């Protein structure tokens, strides 16, 4: 029995590796702006929170942390090549990337969806979290988490509350593909009298780890998108193997992969016009200016009941 399990695990790992890294597609990703912990960055991040668009309960929950954080950090601004629909699918369903990493054996983190926009997470190193997506639209997503650390770095458990504000903007590359630039602001409030000690002790480590994880995550988003362009059937097959992801969410990934493939094929076709002998070569088609409303028109709610890309998520706690 153990040999069968190991063999199955090996085949799943091989499938994930082949699908995601077996294409010749180049992943475009770069860091534009380094991390920032200044007061000016913190104030800018606070002003970006759309309090008027939140329910009173959500306003209080978010602002109680964001107005008086023990630790604030603006993570490095990253730009990657990614289709808007694929990007929003992965942002709104973070368990997709976690489960793919699990299949590849590169993480011990677990993440389980517990509600329409709620997740439980365990990093297997002492930190457990309950996470909610409180707000989401085309360009802004706000996550709230309650976390507990009970590990070897500190003598006693530490509880914290975290607000993550992810701002994204989209542009068109010269070849017509989509580029997404993302900035994440992290507000962390550590409870009780240990806050100052923990902040002084752990802030440098937390900052470096967060910067690295954010950059690697978004490079992986670009990798998934590139795979959808070059091998959409393989990615759709991989989606069906994600056993820690609900079927409706797997279907969202498969649907996004199909859209990415179609748009990639359309760009390739537009860039290679038909040449008729005896006529001059026609000029290459010029890409239109990117508009999320044109590229990803609002759709009916999907099978999971979650808003389709382009819809605004507003939740009441």
What is the tens place of the pLDDT at every residue in 215-241?
889 999 999 999 999 999 999 999 999
Does a structural domain hold residue 157? yes
Which tokens sit at 121?
């997470």
CATH of the domain at 52: 3.30.530.20
**Model pLDDT, residue 285:** 45
The pLDDT, as a whole number, for residue 276 is: 52
What pLDDT, on the 0 to 100 scale, is given for residue 200? Answer: 67
Residue 267 lies in a domain: no
Residue 159 falls inside a structural domain: yes
Instruction: Indicate whether 251 belongs to any domain.
Output: no
Q: What is the pLDDT of residue 17?
A: 40
- Whether 16 maps to a domain, the answer reads no
Q: Does residue 277 lie within any of the structural domains?
A: no
Domains: count for the chain: 1
Query: Which residues on neighbouring strands pair with residue 147, listed in sequence order?
Result: 129, 160
- Please report the pLDDT score of residue 300 as a whole number: 38
Name which of 269, 252, 79 is nearest 180 in CA terms: 79
**What is the reported pLDDT for 192?**
72
Residue 194 has a pLDDT of 63
Both structure tokens of 19:
């699908």
**pTM (predicted TM-score):** 0.78
In a domain, 260, yes or no: no
306, 92 contact by CB (below 8 A) = yes
CB 70, CB 188: distance < 8 Å: yes
Contacts of 78 (CB under 8 A, 6+ apart): 29, 30, 31, 32, 181, 182, 214, 215, 218, 219
Nearest to residue 136, comparing CAs of 122, 120, 116? 116
Q: Which portions of the chain are predicted below pLDDT 50?
A: 1-24, 281, 284-311, 316-317
Q: Is 112 helix (H, G, I), strand (E, B) or coil?
A: strand
Range of the domain at 149: 26-239
Instruction: Measure the CA–CA gap between 8 and 10, rounded to whole angstroms.
Output: 5
pLDDT tens for 236-256 read 999 999 999 999 999 999 999
Domain-embedded: residue 296: no
């Amino acid at each position: 029995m153990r040999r069968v399990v190991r063999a199955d695990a090996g085949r799943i790992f091989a499938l994930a590796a082949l699908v995601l890294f077996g294409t010749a597609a180049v992943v475009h990703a770069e860091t534009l702006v380094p991390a920032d912990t200044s007061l000016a960055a913190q104030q800018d991040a606070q002003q970006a929170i759309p309090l008027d668009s939140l329910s009173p309960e959500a306003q209080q929950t978010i602002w109680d942390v964001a107005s008086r954080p023990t630790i604030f950090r603006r993570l490095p601004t990253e730009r990657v090549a990614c289709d808007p629909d694929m990007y929003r699918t992965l942002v709104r369903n973070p368990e997709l990337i976690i489960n793919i990493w699990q299949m590849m054996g590169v993480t011990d983190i677990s993440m389980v969806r517990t509600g329409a926009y709620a997740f439980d997470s365990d990093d297997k190193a002492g930190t457990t979290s309950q996470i909610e997506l409180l707000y989401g639209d085309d360009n802004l997503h706000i996550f709230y988490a309650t976390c507990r650390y009970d590990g070897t770095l500190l003598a006693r458990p530490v509880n914290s509350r975290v607000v993550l504000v992810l701002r994204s903007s989209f542009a068109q590359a010269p070849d017509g593909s989509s580029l997404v630039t993302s900035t994440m602001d992290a507000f962390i409030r550590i409870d009780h009298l240990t806050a100052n000690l923990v902040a002084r002790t752990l802030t440098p480590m937390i900052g470096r780890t967060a910067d690295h994880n954010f950059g690697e995550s978004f490079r992986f988003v670009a990798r998934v998108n590139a795979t959808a362009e070059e091998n959409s059937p393989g990615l759709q097959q991989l989606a069906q193997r994600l056993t820690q992801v609900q079927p409706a969410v797997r279907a969202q990934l498969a649907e996004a992969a199909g859209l990415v493939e179609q748009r990639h094929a359309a760009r390739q076709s537009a860039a290679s016009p038909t040449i008729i002998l005896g006529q001059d070569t026609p000029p290459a088609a010029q890409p239109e200016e990117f508009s999320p409303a044109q590229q990803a028109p609002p759709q009916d709610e999907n099978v999971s009941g979650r808003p389709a890309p382009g819809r605004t998520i507003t939740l009441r706690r």
